[in-house]
Amino acid sequence: MRETKDYAVAFADIAASTRIYRELGDQAARQLTQAYCGRVLALLPRFEGRLVKTLGDGVMCVFPEPENAVLAMSALHAEMAAQPLQGQTIRLHSGVNVGPVILEGTDVYGTIVNVAAYLAATARAEQILTTQAVVDRLSPTTASCARAIYSTKLKGDQDESTIYEIIWQTDRAGITDLNLGPRQLPADEGALLLSTGTTTLRVDPGRMRVLLGRDASNDIAILDQLTSRNHATIEFDRMRFRLVDHSANGTFVSFAGTPGEVHVLRGETQLYGSGRISLGRSLGDPQAQPIAFRRDQRALYRV
């Protein structure tokens, strides 16, 4: 059963997770990610928060009020900076938003969630980004830690929105002062980029469906006998990207920062972050012809 309720939503992702996996190896990096999630779970009760899900190298949480969410993210950033995990100093980038979300079981989704994810995706390492709606509902003391850093027009809004940074560091000597003139979010590169050795395609609201397969009529054609003529589609659906497999041998997907691969056979999976896709063969097969994908979440919320 679906219902709508006001929540503060926060995403907190590990910065440079791809480098961590490369340097530590899959098993050690995975253990580090699990230890990070353990830290999050231990911290949330202090702020009445709930872990909704883990997303590769990040977490999604909800809180009853934005004050709780901002204080929780600030405490999490401070704790991770002060207390290394397994000898590794972990840096985070986070986003917080507030408003009505759709509840479905233990999951939450909707535009408020998507914007929080966008903020986390565009934040720099050790940065917490949030919206005017959050800042307006903060206590005076907490609101004094917010500074406006740029403006952008979010999808569904007619007016420019101001994006704020939450200054969580107690020692502010290393924080760059801002030129307070008008600032705009830099131009983005597209919602989802698909690349082979010879082709690059962009999937976004202007091109909502891409066909993959062996037949030359597909948007991306892979000449391999293990690839079906009409093998799979990638679809833009309510701010998400779905890969739907229609094939005999399935589609293999790997996500950067996550060990292993997902085998999708006559089913579907959501594409997030970046990674590689192989039609009909495991990505470990020397004859695989991978399609690289990279999601730029900024494009989902810009006009």
Tell me: do 161 and 196 sit in the same domain: no
Beta carbons of 163 and 135 less than 8 angstroms apart? no
Per-residue pLDDT, 199 = 81
Tell me: do 233 and 283 sit in the same domain: yes
At residue 227, what are phi and psi to the nearest 5 degrees? Answer: -95, 130
Does any domain span residue 179?
no
Does any domain span residue 28?
yes
Tell me: do 10 and 152 sit in the same domain: yes
Per-residue pLDDT, 234 = 95
CA distance linking residue 74 with residue 78, whole number of Å: 6
Q: By C-alpha distance, which of 52, 145, 133 is closest to 96? A: 133
Tell me: do 210 and 142 sit in the same domain: no
Each residue of 49-61: pLDDT tens digit? Answer: 999 998 777 899 9
At residue 53, the 3 state secondary structure works out as strand
Per-residue pLDDT, 43 = 95
Q: By C-alpha distance, which of 259, 207, 258 is closest to 233? A: 207
At residue 6, the 3 state secondary structure works out as strand
Does any domain span residue 21?
yes
Per-residue pLDDT, 180 = 40
> Virtual CA dihedral for 273, 44, 83, 74, nearest 10 degrees?
80
Tell me: do 12 and 152 sit in the same domain: yes
Domain end: 148, 166, 184, which one? 166
Tell me: do 154 and 231 sit in the same domain: no
Tell me: do 154 and 20 sit in the same domain: yes
Beta carbons of 295 and 192 less than 8 angstroms apart? yes
Does any domain span residue 78?
yes
Q: By C-alpha distance, which of 156, 178, 257 is closest to 164? A: 178
CATH of the domain at 9: 3.30.70.1230
Beta carbons of 132 and 146 less than 8 angstroms apart? no
Does any domain span residue 13?
yes
Tell me: do 137 and 15 sit in the same domain: yes
Tell me: do 50 and 99 sit in the same domain: yes
Ranges of the chain whose pLDDT falls below 70 = 1, 18, 154-158, 170-190, 238-239, 296-303
Per-residue pLDDT, 155 = 61
What is the CA 87 to chain-centroid distance, rounded?
Answer: 26
Tell me: do 134 and 206 sit in the same domain: no
Eight-class DSSP state of 63: E
CA distance linking residue 150 with residue 130, whole number of Å: 11
Tell me: do 153 and 200 sit in the same domain: no
Domain end: 166, 182, 214, which one? 166
Per-residue pLDDT, 238 = 57
Q: By C-alpha distance, which of 92, 89, 91, 79 is closest to 13? A: 92
Q: By C-alpha distance, which of 242, 273, 240, 238 is closest to 257? A: 273
Q: Could you list the residue range(s) of the whole structural domain that residue 103 is in? A: 2-166
Each residue of 159-178: pLDDT tens digit? Answer: 778 899 999 886 554 444 44
What is the CA 127 to chain-centroid distance, rounded?
Answer: 15
CB-based burial of residue 185 (10 Å sphere; 0-12 exposed, 13-18 middle, 19+ buried)? middle
Does any domain span residue 178?
no
Inter-helix orientation angle 66-82/26-43, to 10° = 130
Does any domain span residue 130?
yes
CB-based burial of residue 249 (10 Å sphere; 0-12 exposed, 13-18 middle, 19+ buried)? middle
pTM over 0.85? The answer is: no
Give the DSSP H/E element, type plus range, for residue 212: strand 209-213
Tell me which residue has tokens 């005076």. Answer: 140
CATH of the domain at 202: 2.60.200.20
Tell me: do 156 and 200 sit in the same domain: no
How many domains are contained in the chain? 2
Q: Are strands 251-255 and 107-109 parallel, antiparallel or unpaired?
A: unpaired
